[in-house]
Amino acid sequence: MLAGKRKKLLEGGKVLKKFSGKKLLGLKYEPLFDFLFNKEVKEAENAFSVLPADFVSDEEGTGVVHIAPMYGDDDFQLGKKFNLPLIHTLDLEGRFKKMVSDWSGLFAKEADPLIIKKLEEKGLLYKEEKVLHSYPFCWRCDSPLLYYALECWYIAVSKIKKQLIANNKKIRWVPGHIKEGRFGKWLLQARDWAFSRNRFWGAPLPIWQCQSKKGENKGCGNVKVVGSFKELEKIVKRKIKDPHRPYIDEIEFNCPKCGGKMKRTPEVFDCWFESGSMPYAQWHYPFENKRFLEKTFPADFIAEGLDQTRGWFYTLHVIATILTLKDIGLGKNRPAFLNVIVNGLVLDEKGRKLSKKLGNYPEPKEIFDRYGADALRYFLLTSTPIGQDYRFSEKGVQDTWRRTLLTLWNSYLFFETYKEKGFSPKKRIIPKNVLNRWIISRLEQLKQEVIFEMERYEITKAARKINSFLEDLSNWYIRRSRDYFKKPKQKREKDEFSQTLYYLLKEFLKISAPFLPFISEYLYLELIEKKEPQSVHLSDFPKPKKNLIDGKLEEKMRLAREIAAKALAKRAKAGIKVRQPLLELQINKPELKKEKELLNILKEELNVKKITFGRTLKLNTKITPELKEEGLLRELSRQIQQLRKKARLKPKDKIFVYYFASAQLKKPLEKNKKLFVKEAQIKDIIFEKKAKKDLLIEKEVSICEKKIWIGLKKTKN
């Protein structure tokens, strides 16, 4: 008998008759083996008949499939539906039981060839062939596994489904889509929870059952769930010395209903039941800390991976829902947690799982050694929106280190290098300069934004704000305020900038502490005074000073920076370096007309003599002889600065500069010597070559395609 689609199995045979599969339903047949025909199996005849099922394919095998109700979910459901005898022919180790007399004691898979041989002997084998199909194996020892129907203890989760769904409404999920998505959908189809496990190790179920005969679960049906050691001790009238297996299994008592023997059911808890019990079990509730838990339940916040929607998040939710169906002190109808952050998995650059076999990840310790733990933490926080899988790459961590940690570090170094001599922080700062007013406004704004995002548990968004502030601080504030630190026109000016940068750094470190805990702590300790909290992690998260936020100024500064970026692009396109002064930039933002300070910043940033207003952004790229001369002096100044750096001179070190060049490159310098010497902070410039041994450093540079020789010598003082 074959399904029509499997005709090729006939191998030359003849079709005698065609009919619909329906005709076979209810038909009894003679089994291949008669092991089941014994006294122990009731209604064995019932076991061998043709039944309808929708999980059978007419494209495999013969199109008719043999089922074994105790060894597969589909089979079991069908067996139950048609009242088949539910008996095991295999024991718990997968070996044939005594009733299968030919192979009793043999592991099912090992018996395969013997069974085939037997069929052949009996003339019942039509054809033998290998069929490729997927099969479960033990993940630890690779041995083949069997599906095995077992009696289990269940929690009737399906009965509280409505409440599970209602309690989920009270949880804030980040990312939000998990609430009604992955988790919500899982709740919709919640099934009863088989929470018992048939193994030795584990927390024993505190359930005793009445059994009239030894080793049989057929007592009067009395079940006792023991609620505490105390209760158990009261029942058995003695101390419980060890609540673990096997000792707990020895505890028996008389059934109060029929006088039979109450024995502990042999199963242990599914470890997920214990995970879900964490909020109570960790405090030994309700036996201890009852008040405390009642006051603090539910948890404000938990975090775990996406895979836990069916694991920990779920079991916490189920148990909390059950415990709050009535108010026993924990409140009524409550979830176990109010906020949850769900993160994705860490994958490699190409989106593959990290595996030892592939070797597609570096040792975390090496990453810590190379870039610090902060870099990895901040990379994970900012590279990926919460909930998506992380694509880990060392390059990404390195970029984070450079962009964020190094920038912060250099900002601190800048302060340490250029702060006032004998700097002492003031309690209040009143910024006057537009740069100071702007960056403080940005800082106070940052506080506000980070608090806003953190209160919504949007940590990716909060973390990214940190970096964009650092970018403003380093690439605009510090860059544009260098001259105020290095060559201030008045002491008051330098004082204001030093105070501002100090305030910025210290307040910033308090904001960055949760995101960059190590570097924040290190720099904080470098900056603080004795009277302050002795760890950044002990100081309060700073409150925004709203009166220092100036949204209009921030907007105008944004405009100015936008103009700067465009004008610099025009310079680059024309191939003119920023060091070469230009005459004029025309801009098209009339709202900046009155902003003298901002226009000055723009002039300095873009190195133009004046800014005018017109309909478009236009950069005058004509270089007059005067401008060219000025450009040459700037270039020289830069070269000298680089030599200073190379010679590891400190800003306070004074130098003599020796200079040798053609007349064409000498004249402009001679003409402007006085101003140049002052601007470049040089003691004097001498127009001659000097022997290398008398110099700190020397170099031949090329300016305007001509060679110039420069030598540096430190002054005595």
Binding positions for Zn ion, rule: CB under 5 A: 138, 140-141, 210, 219-220, 222, 255, 257-258, 260
Closest-CA residue to 451 (of 507, 505, 511): 511
Secondary element (H or E) of residue 660: strand 655-661
Shortest Å distance, C-beta 258 to Zn ion:
3
CB of 532 to Zn ion, least distance (A): 58
**Cβ closer to Zn ion: 95 or 161?**
95
- 202 or 711: CB nearest Zn ion: 202
Nearer to Zn ion, 219 or 711 (CB): 219
In the complex, the smallest distance separating the C-beta of residue 216 from Zn ion, rounded to whole angstroms, is 12
Q: Which is nearer to Zn ion, 92 or 675 (CB)?
A: 92
User: Is the distance from CB of 276 to CB of 308 less than 8 angstroms?
Assistant: no
126/147 with CB nearer Zn ion: 147
Diameter over CA atoms, the chain: 122
* Residue closer to Zn ion, measured from CB, 143 or 534: 143
With respect to Zn ion, which residue has the nearer C-beta, 219 or 488? 219
Angle (CA) 126 129 133, round 5°: 130
In angstroms, rounded to a whole number, what is the distance separating the alpha carbons of residues 196 and 566? 68
For the bound state, the minimum distance from the C-beta of residue 172 to Zn ion, rounded and expressed in Å, comes to 41
Listed residue (709, 659, 702, 700) closest to 680, CA to CA: 659
Q: How far is the CB of 261 from Zn ion (least distance, A)?
A: 8
Reference 148, options 114, 193, 119, 107; nearest CA is: 107
The C-alpha atoms of residue 710 and residue 701 are separated, in whole angstroms, by 8
Instruction: Please state, in angstroms and rounded to a whole number, the distance separating the CA atoms of residues 266 and 246.
Output: 10
Nearer to Zn ion, 254 or 715 (CB): 254
Closest CB 271 distance from Zn ion, rounded Å: 17
Looking at beta carbons only, is 212 or 637 nearer to Zn ion?
212
Sheet holding 608-613, edge to edge: 608-613, 582-587, 618-619
CB 621 within 8 A of CB 567: no
Peptide bond preceding 246 in cis form (omega within 30 of 0): yes
The pairing of beta strand 261-264 with beta strand 207-211: antiparallel
Tell me whether residue 218 or residue 238 sits nearer to Zn ion (CB atom): 218
Nearest approach in angstroms of CB 213 to Zn ion is 12
Question: What is the rounded distance in angstroms from the CA atom of residue 303 to the CA atom of residue 171?
Answer: 13
From the CB of 144, what's the least distance to Zn ion, in Å? 10
Q: Which is nearer to Zn ion, 21 or 94 (CB)?
A: 94
How deeply is 389 buried, as exposed, middle or buried, from its count of CB atoms within 10 A (0-12, 13-18, 19+)? middle
Using a 10 angstrom Cβ sphere, with 0-12 exposed, 13-18 middle and 19 or more buried, the burial of residue 427 is: exposed
Nearest to 178 by CA among 465, 457, 462, 515: 457
Shortest distance in whole angstroms from residue 265 CB to Zn ion: 14
Nearest approach in angstroms of CB 230 to Zn ion is 23
Helix (H) or strand (E) holding 208: strand 207-211
- Give the nearer residue to Zn ion in terms of CB position, either 212 or 586: 212
CB of 153 to Zn ion, least distance (A): 19
Q: Report long-range pairs for 469-476 (Cβ below 8 Å, ≥24 apart).
A: 469/442, 469/443, 469/508, 470/404, 470/407, 470/408, 470/411, 470/508, 471/407, 472/439, 472/442, 473/407, 473/411, 473/439, 473/442, 473/504, 473/508, 474/407, 474/410, 474/411, 476/557, 476/561
Contact of 433 with 484, CB cutoff 8 Å: yes
Paired residues of 701 in beta bridges = 708
Q: How far is the CB of 255 from Zn ion (least distance, A)?
A: 3
Using DSSP's 3-state secondary structure scheme, residue 117 falls into helix
Min. distance of Cβ 243 from Zn ion in angstroms?
Answer: 24
In whole angstroms, the minimum distance from the beta carbon of 277 to Zn ion comes to 27
**Among residues 104 and 222, whose Cβ is nearest to Zn ion?**
222
Torsion region of 450: left, alpha or beta (phi above 0 gives left; psi -120 to 50 gives alpha): alpha
Residue 130 or 140: which CB sits closer to Zn ion?
Answer: 140
